[in-house]
Amino acid sequence: MPTRTCQKPVPALALPSWTILATVHVVFLAAVLGSGPALAQGVRHEIDRQRSTVHVVTRRAGALGFLGHDHAILATEWTGAICFAPDEPSASAVDVTVATPSLVIDTDRAMEVAGTSSRPNPDTIEELRTRMLGPEFLDAEQYPEIRFASRSVTTDTDHDLVVEGPFTLHGRTRIVTAPVTTTREPDGTVRFQVRLSARMTDFGIEPETNFGVVDVADEFDLFVDVVTRPTTEPCP
């Protein structure tokens, strides 16, 4: 008969207690860090173009400024990208580009959006738009885009958020800061309202002047008012 060989069981390796604890900690951290998206990661927001606008308001100046008009300038062609992380604002971002030739001035819609109440006659409006887009001012043919792209987003005591980043106008770029108000609407959308104030002369544009009698003020305000709906897509 064949002979059976009895094998003695191999004793289990006794690990020091500190090694076991370290292993448990590593497994726990891997489970926590590896599950779900990063806490600071924002999500892309889809812009509702029907409820969103980008416009500029220029003010009157000069000794008889009260005789002139505040002008409402509306962008009719623009693109935007919104990334929002409500629990970690620094992971948020905004990028808006306006097609300069698409700007219209003192139309019914522009005045409605800007809240202005008076305007010149139609012939004057058309003349103003031609000059605004011409080489004397915006030079839309040479500089077809106006763009703002945030490089940082922070919180502020007076506003929900503050964005900072390069603003390019008339072929010149300046770093600007703008407050942002966020509103959660009942339908689940989120409204972002940005007000960016700047001076024309900082971008190589001389304001319209009529010998100091009725002038256009150097400072202007750019308003970005967008209604968005959060998606499930993480920001790039």
Q: Is 26 among the domain residues? A: no
Cα 153 from Cα 86, distance rounded (Å): 11
Measured between its terminal Cα atoms, the distance across the chain in Å is 73
CA quadruple 212, 214, 215, 220: dihedral positive or negative? positive
Q: Is 128 among the domain residues? A: yes
Which pLDDT score is estimated for 118?
86
Top pLDDT among 33 and 235 is at 235
**Which of 62-71, 92-101, 163-172 is least confident?**
62-71
For residue 233, pLDDT over 60 is answered with yes
Q: Is 192 among the domain residues? A: yes
pLDDT tens by residue, 205-229: 987 765 333 367 889 999 999 999 9
Under DSSP, the state recorded for 35 is S
Top pLDDT among 151 and 209 is at 151
Average pLDDT over residues 41-61: 90
Q: Is 8 among the domain residues? A: no
Q: Is 59 among the domain residues? A: yes
Q: Are 163 and 180 in contact (CB under 8 A)?
A: yes
Number of domains in the chain: 1
Confidence of residue 67 (pLDDT cuts 50, 70, 90): very low
Residue 175 dihedral angles phi and psi, to the nearest 5°: -85, 125
Which pLDDT score is estimated for 24?
39
CA-wise closest residue to 192 among 89, 52, 50, 73 = 52
Write b or e for each residue in 107-142: b if 16 or more Cβ atoms lie within 10 A of its Cβ, otherwise e: beebbebbebeebeeeeebeebbeebbeeebbbbee
Element (H, E) at 176: strand 172-184
The structure's pTM equals: 0.77
Q: Is 108 among the domain residues? A: yes
Which pLDDT score is estimated for 15?
47
Structural domain that includes position 82? 42-234
Under DSSP, the state recorded for 14 is -
CA-wise closest residue to 53 among 72, 75, 70, 71 = 75
Q: Which CATH number do you get for residue 49?
A: 2.40.128.110
Q: Are 216 and 71 in contact (CB under 8 A)?
A: yes
Helical segments of the chain, H only: 17-34, 108-114, 122-133
Q: Is 102 among the domain residues? A: yes
Confidence of residue 203 (pLDDT cuts 50, 70, 90): very high
Q: Is 27 among the domain residues? A: no
